[in-house]
Amino acid sequence: MSALYDLTIAEAAPLLKAKTLSPVELTASYLSRIEAFDGQLNAYLRVLPEQAMAAARKAEGEIMKGGYKGPLHGVPIGLKDIYNTKGIATTGHSALYKDHVPEEDATTTRLLAEAGTILLGKLSTWEFAIGGTSFDLPWPPAKNPWNLAHDPAGSSSGSGAAIAAGLAMGSMGTDTGGSIRGPAAWCGISGLKPTYGLVSRRGILPLSFSLDHGGPMCWTSEDCALMMDVLAQHDPLDPGSADVAKPDFAGSLQKGVKGLRIGVVRHFFESDAEIDPEIKSGIEAALVTFRELGCGVVDVTLSPLSAYGDAATLISRSEAFAFHEETLKATPELYGELARQRIMMGAFVRACDYVNALRERGRLIAEIATVFETVDVLICPTMPGVAPKLGDLGNMMSRSRPSFTRVFNLTGSPALSVCSGFSAAGLPLAMQIVGRPFQDDLVLRVGSAFEKATAFRDLRPAQWAQQALAAE
């Protein structure tokens, strides 16, 4: 058997079901690994060893008595610290919410618990999912397991770092402009921003109500599919929740990708914006793999990248300021500098500009729907470059330019980031796979097929633990 932290959810699930692997053993191994290494990585804001072991013993008892609930039963996970957890602090990584203890779980927190997952702890995030990599908050920022001197991206920074470092089997992130897919890209894992409305956001600290998404982050697309089988539930308490038929996410992976039509949004990264040549090389190599798998590959054209970015920026700034206005005016000192600056930008957006951005959003949604009449999925970069050095605060605002991710927050399309290789410096490369609304299962199928056709999921960040120990 592989080291326990190297097991994927898909590999661990049959062992747990067969009672050859104990949830107690599995959880204890993760807690030991967190204790040994997270002091340098900072993926967790709060570890819950007593609660986790109690949940593991409960899961073990249920399985031993024949009460196996499914592939997530007994699986240790982490939650980004903007997911409400009943009786456990949910801080948004902010001094403002440092003592905030919710009275009930987020819907997703509850669904995962009901599926038998083991909550290891709450994971690091940019402040209120907007503040950037900051050093003026109650806890230090997370680091990138592939190189501790580099940034893991955000805002779901701890969620990405924990998966890459083997400190959780699955995690939950949120994505308003790329905050699942960015950390997935720089940490070399798989992260899905689902279709808008497919996963409940009730009980998640909001940033931009019309752009916020919650979704899974795992080592593989297959594991993301297993989590989506639990997460995709209609929630009448979330006004944005969609009441649609749920596919068999994990089961659909077996269908393969032969005959699928892949559209490459080449102008995004060849004329609309500059990207790292290694990112482009990774995408070109991936397209060769898809052709070998029997896919057709064609170039497609959308509106310029800037059209999406301009509309998304106006909408997200307006909605973020609307949520934070009162507390920002009353206690600005309780916000970190980057979060305060970014939220304040929304105060200068005119109502007419917000309305026009919504109109432009409608046009862009209609346009991408037309393109999807000719292809099954789209391919484009996730990030314009590999992970930069940690703490480069002067460039934090420009790091989101260009943004290939917020395009699909604006359209609500399902978008998956997968590892597409490694740079000469050993840092992960990534690409996005994007589908029609509510075809998240197809997006995951394409991602999983690519991962199984390449060797990138066999490579773990081998040096990070040694770096962490050397720094002790």
List, by residue number, the catalytic residues. Answer: 80, 155, 179
**8-state DSSP, 166:** T
Residue 312 · residue 409 · CB < 8 Å:
yes
DSSP code per residue over 314-369: HHHHHHHHHHHHHHHHH-GGGS-HHHHHHHHGGGG--HHHHHHHHHHHHHHHHHHH
In the block, tokens 């009943």 appear at 86
Angle between helix 305-330 and 337-344 (nearest 10): 110
CA triple 138-46-27, angle to 5 deg:
160
| Of the candidates 445, 386, 433, the residue with the CA atom closest to the CA atom of residue 264 | 433
Beta carbons of 450 and 416 less than 8 angstroms apart = no
3-state secondary structure of 379: strand
State how far the Cα of 367 lies from the Cα of 195, in Å rounded to an integer: 17
Closest C-alpha to 126, from 141, 144, 143, 106: 141
- Angle subtended by helix axes 23-41 and 49-64, to nearest 10: 160
Cis-peptide, bond into residue 155, ω within 30° of zero: yes
